Every structure is written in structure tokens, then in C-alpha cells.
Amino acid sequence: MDESSIPVLNAEALIRIARQNGGRVPCAVCSELVCPGWESLPGGFERSRLRRIGTLRRAGDEEATLTEHHPTGTNAWSTDAPIAPAFFPYNRCDVWQCTACTRPFLRYTEYGGYYEDERIRVLNADLIHDSRLQR
């Protein structure tokens, strides 16, 4: 799938994907991805086991916000942190699913001063916030 054919998803689409495919018991292909909150993608994980199905990145949004959304006092590493597409890091995420069981994940790359860290999180419908209304 080339970049131009990847659908840009909103909160409603994320909820639909998470409800259709989330909550599944991890299969043998994706079982090492136990990531209710953000975690580094395991170094030995075969990335071809995941298929990109969408993105939360908006075309032309080169200056996407770095502001996070934590209305209940969570933090970026909290397993119960909201998944808020309009806020960081979700506004820089792609949506992926296991090629075998279709369990959905969010992925983005954290760029530090001297490193890159691919991060992954299971897509949980109960945590998705349509934060556009709260900006």
C-alpha cells in the first residue's frame, strides 16, 4: 500500500476498528506484543507480521502539536491514558493490525537527540477520545 492510498482515520473509525478486531486473545504471530500502554517495539519482532491499515497523520500537518491529552492525570506511559487522535503522539501514528488475527495496534517513531524508538500500543476502544471537542 503506497502512502497516498492509506486512509486517514478519525476517532469514529478507530473505535470501529477496535471494536471489530480488538479484545482478541493474541495469536502466535503477535503474542509477544503485550502493550496496553506505549512500549518499544521488540527488537526481534518481525515487522512484516503487521499490516498498516490507516493513519492518524493529517496530510500537510508538518507542525502537528506536541501537546498531550491527559484530562484525568494520566501520563504518556499510563495503560489507561486516553487515545486522543488530535494530540501527541497519536497525531503521528499509523494504525496496524496483525496479519493473522487482525488485532489492531497504534505505532509511531519517537525521535530523540541521538536515537529513534519505534513504539507500539494495542488499540483499545474504551480509551479512544474524540478530543476535537475538548481543544
Q: Tens digit of pLDDT per residue, the chain (135 long)?
A: 556 689 999 999 999 999 998 777 889 999 999 899 999 999 999 999 999 999 999 877 777 888 999 999 999 999 999 999 999 999 999 999 999 999 999 999 998 888 899 999 999 999 999 855 443
19-25, long-range: CB within 8 Å, 24+ apart, which pairs? 19/125, 20/102, 21/97, 21/102, 21/103, 21/104, 22/103, 22/104, 22/122, 22/123, 22/124, 22/125, 23/125, 24/101, 24/102, 24/103
Q: Quote the pLDDT of residue 110.
A: 92
- Domain count for the chain, please give it: 1
Report DSSP state, residue 32: T
Domain range spanning residue 76? 3-60+68-134
Can you tell me the distance from the alpha carbon of 116 to that of 1, in angstroms, rounded to the nearest whole number?
24
